[in-house]
């Protein structure tokens, strides 16, 4: 599918690697101006290298779970681009494999901060800027573990279920103000985030019998952000090779 995003402004978190990087490259390919956010400067530099120098890109290096940083990112976007059309709120971290009694309080808070609270901060600051120019479209990254559970991942599962609910709530709050909000729910995708997982064991849990690719996920993100998805809001899109259908 071809998209025409010329003069659109998109913000992507976790833009330096994996799914966020693939989505950033596609958004640039279809003409978007970009604000790319990541905690890792080297990751961001690699994304910029892959996109090339022909695109108007604002880079912000910092932690999405830091409220002041997120507020400042939106201010910078307003100053640099005077508006925001698309947001892909995607940065996240993998969870340690531990049962609840063994999961430290510190790890619990970190998981909730990075994987859930950051999405609230994004929405809270993005929405007023989108409303200034008449609306926009937002995609939040949840997970298959935002709709089903598995053993020994309580904090990640809780955070990602939170993202699912928050996305629905935001969709309803702004449905009449031309802001659409959807969440995506990837199964296991080949990215650095899951390198520590035993991929063969994981692969067979997907009926399609393989892991997903970042480009497959990025294509769904672009579709949901675009006007092609103009009647879709509050939806939770599984992209998981059939994992959650079983």
Ligand X SMILES: NC(=O)c1ccc[n+]([C@@H]2O[C@H](COP(=O)([O-])OP(=O)(O)OC[C@H]3O[C@@H](n4cnc5c(N)ncnc54)[C@H](O)[C@@H]3O)[C@@H](O)[C@H]2O)c1
**Residue numbers of the site for ligand X (CB under 6 A)?**
13-14, 16-20, 38-40, 43, 63-65, 90-93, 114, 141, 143, 186, 188-189, 191-194
In the complex with ligand X, the residue whose CB is nearer, 6 or 200, is: 200
- Shortest distance, CB of residue 177 to ligand X, whole angstroms? 26
Measured distance CA(14)–CA(131) in Å, rounded: 24
The catalytic residue among 156, 188, 237, 243 is 156
Measured distance CA(234)–CA(157) in Å, rounded: 20
- Shortest distance, CB of residue 68 to ligand X, whole angstroms? 13
Strands, sheet with 9-13, edge to edge from the N-terminal-most edge strand: 57-61, 33-38, 9-13, 86-89, 136-141, 179-186, 236-239
The neighbouring-strand residues paired with 9 are 33
In the complex with ligand X, the residue whose CB is nearer, 72 or 133, is: 72
In the complex with ligand X, the residue whose CB is nearer, 119 or 229, is: 119
Residues ≥6 apart with Cβ < 8 Å to 5: 27, 30, 31, 32, 86, 226
In the complex with ligand X, the residue whose CB is nearer, 2 or 245, is: 245
In the complex with ligand X, the residue whose CB is nearer, 5 or 88, is: 88
Cα–Cα distances (Å) from 191 to 48, 109, 182, 227, in that order, read 18, 24, 22, 28
Tokens of 118: 């950051």
- Shortest distance, CB of residue 152 to ligand X, whole angstroms? 16
- Shortest distance, CB of residue 52 to ligand X, whole angstroms? 19
DSSP category for residue 115 = I
Q: Count CA within 13 A, CB hemisphere, residue 153.
A: 18
What sign results for the dihedral spanned by CA atoms 115, 129, 171, 178? Answer: negative
Measured distance CA(104)–CA(85) in Å, rounded: 39
Residue 174: active-site member = no
- Shortest distance, CB of residue 10 to ligand X, whole angstroms? 16
Catalytic residues: 156
């Amino acid at each position: 599918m071809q998209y025409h995003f010329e003069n659109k402004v998109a913000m992507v978190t976790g833009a330096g690697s994996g799914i966020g990087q693939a989505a950033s490259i596609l958004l640039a390919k279809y003409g978007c101006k970009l604000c790319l956010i990541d905690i890792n400067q080297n990751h961001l530099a690699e994304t910029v290298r892959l996109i090339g120098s022909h695109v108007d890109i604002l880079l912000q290096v910092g932690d999405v779970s830091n409220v002041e940083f997120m507020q400042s990112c939106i201010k910078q976007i307003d100053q640099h681009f005077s508006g925001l059309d698309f947001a892909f709120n995607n940065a996240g971290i993998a969870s340690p494999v531990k049962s609840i009694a063994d999961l430290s309080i510190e790890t619990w808070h970190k998981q909730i901060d990075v994987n859930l609270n950051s999405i609230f901060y994004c929405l809270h600051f993005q929405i007023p800027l989108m409303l200034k120019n008449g609306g926009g479209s937002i995609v939040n990254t949840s997970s298959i573990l935002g709709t089903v559970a598995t053993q020994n991942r309580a904090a990640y599962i809780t955070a990602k279920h939170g993202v699912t609910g928050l996305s629905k709530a935001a969709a309803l709050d702004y449905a009449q103000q031309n802001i659409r909000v959807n969440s995506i729910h990837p199964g296991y995708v080949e990215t650095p985030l899951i390198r520590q997982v035993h991929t063969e064991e994981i692969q067979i849990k997907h009926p399609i019998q393989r892991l997903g690719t970042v480009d497959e996920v990025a294509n769904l993100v672009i579709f949901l952000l675009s006007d092609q998805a103009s009647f879709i809001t509050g939806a939770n899109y599984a992209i998981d090779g059939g994992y959650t259908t079983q």
